[in-house]
Amino acid sequence: MTEYKHHQRLLACLLALIFAAPLALAAPADKSKPNIVLVLMDNFGYGEPGVYGGGVMRGAPTPRIDSIAAEGFQLTNYNVEAECTPSRAALMTGRYGARTRLRPNGPPRDLWYGISKWEITLAEMLSSSGYATGIFGKWHLGNAEGRYPTDQGFDEWYGIPYSSDQAFWPDSDSFQKDAGVEFTYITTSKRGETPEKHEVYGLAKRATIDREITDHAIDFIKRRAKAKQPFFAYLPYTQTHEPVNAHPDFKGKTGNGSFADVLAQTDAYVGELLDTIDKLGLKDNTIFIFTSDNGREGVRRSFGSTGIWRGTMFSPYEGSLRVPFLIRWPEKIPARQVSNDIVHAIDVFPTLANFVGGDIPQDRILDGVDQSAFLMGKTKNSARESMVIYLTSELFGAKWRNWKILLKELDDHYSVRPIAYPSIYNLIIDPKEEEPEAFYLDDTWVETPLWRVIEEHQASMEKDPGAPDE
């Protein structure tokens, strides 16, 4: 072989290596199946991220969370339910939490237990569409056989089955071990296997669990990317539910207290997830969502922020119902979009189903609507202009466009306060819901569309046979 030909072959080999390297990091070949990363905060209010008026105003800048808005769509009227379990049920099923409680033989359950095995979850829909599915964090939708996340469509799980307030128990001086109360444990499982309990979820583990959730999720993403399989990574973080304890790496970092430290910590973890997606060459084919299950905590000593809105979780007010929602999908969802149109957590299921070509269940009522055209900038307005408001299984009111009707009000102690007439608020004029519009006679026309929303929903609930008893 001549020296010239030898150099040519060597050059060809080098070029092949250069061009092969990016291919090793490429997204799965099937571009119709975008990866999905869904970050769900716990009791994280509207006023926390910088793009919602928080960030530095809350003691900690949030540049990585804010970057999702810069590269995608920010919703300022994204709504959830007023408590953890019904809100997560709505997100996972595309159905109002009250509907997932309906049973054919008797009234709804008195206490929130989760979702029945009959419900079809977001993970089950995506799994049926060829996705690897992983949950890393808090489930809170059932903790008995057949109700764990790996019974409901997830391939693997690392996290806790219940709520973080139980992390107080192991460290409480008044805890009585003979009371028949079981601690919460870090739990892992894989599809088809019995969940395994690991260390007790006490205050020390409370401070480190979101770090571990992030690490497990990044490992999952890397494994699925290497296998070239589309994936759904669901990260229901445990912060900022009480107790708000920062990881030792972040404790005292901001100088503005534990809540600001956790806000800085969360921003850093979100940044790690974004960087992982980017470095793996998956950015253009990954839908990344950042949102929350509820507004700020409903206890007075909580230092969370609902921004300009009234109230906290456990209430029918906007501070309970409106939370951040940011979504990024480069070249599919135009950057720097902001909208104040109504969108609800129940819309996530049908929207993602449309994005991935998944099947929508036809044997039950789905309350969610497909928002894909809206998010992709193909239509100007949301596909939804109304929603109903529940506290547990009690219907409290409805929203229609910028208006809201409440059939009942709460006092400062979260007790129902009787009112002679329903309260009607214009949320543009009165975001704090301080002055019912019923006092202004020129606005009473809005009662008609508001009552229509309630009546149509009630008729739908009456016709719903409910889930089989399981």
Across the range 230-239, mean pLDDT stands at 98
E strand segments, 340-431: 343-344, 386-391, 394-400, 403-406, 409-410, 416-417, 423-426
* pLDDT at res. 397: 97
* pLDDT at res. 260: 98
Q: In whole angstroms, what is the distance from residue 279 CA to residue 261 CA?
A: 27
Residue 413 has pLDDT above 90, yes or no: no
* pLDDT at res. 24: 35
Contacts of 23 (CB under 8 A, 6+ apart): none
Domains located in the chain, CATH noted:
35-385 (3.40.720.10), 389-463 (no CATH)
* pLDDT at res. 11: 42
- Which amino acid makes up residue 2? T
User: Could you count the other beta carbons within 10 Å of the beta carbon of residue 137?
Assistant: 27
Share of the chain above pLDDT 70, in %: 90
So which residues are the catalytic ones? Answer: 84, 140
Across the range 241-267, mean pLDDT stands at 97
Contacts of 384 (CB under 8 A, 6+ apart): 341, 342, 343, 344, 347, 369, 371
* pLDDT at res. 122: 98
Residue 121 has pLDDT above 50, yes or no: yes
Nearest in space to 81 (alpha carbons), one of 458, 392, 417, 412:
392
Residue 255 has pLDDT above 70, yes or no: yes
What are all long-range contacts of 416-421, with beta carbons under 8 Å and residues at least 24 apart? none
Given a contact cutoff of 8 angstroms between Cβ atoms, the answer to whether 350 and 466 are in contact is no
Q: In whole angstroms, what is the distance from residue 45 CA to residue 151 CA?
A: 30
Average pLDDT over the chain, rounded to whole?
Answer: 91
- Convert the pLDDT of each residue in 93-110 to its tens digit: 999 999 998 877 655 554
Q: In whole angstroms, what is the distance from residue 82 CA to residue 72 CA?
A: 27
- Convert the pLDDT of each residue in 265-293 to its tens digit: 999 999 999 999 999 999 999 999 999 99
Does a cis peptide bond (omega within 30 degrees of 0) precede residue 418?
no
CA separation, residue 117 to residues 38, 112, 154, 304, 393 (Å): 22, 15, 13, 34, 20
Given a contact cutoff of 8 angstroms between Cβ atoms, the answer to whether 247 and 208 are in contact is yes
Residue 425 has pLDDT above 90, yes or no: yes
b/e per residue 167-204 (b: at least 16 CB within 10 A): bebbeeeeeeeeeeeebbbbbbbebeeebeeeebbbee
Q: How confident is residue 30, by pLDDT bands cut at 50, 70 and 90?
A: low
Nearest in space to 271 (alpha carbons), one of 70, 69, 62:
62
* pLDDT at res. 441: 64
Nearest in space to 322 (alpha carbons), one of 418, 224, 381, 399:
399
Across the range 161-169, mean pLDDT stands at 92
- Convert the pLDDT of each residue in 380-412 to its tens digit: 999 999 999 999 889 999 999 999 999 999 988
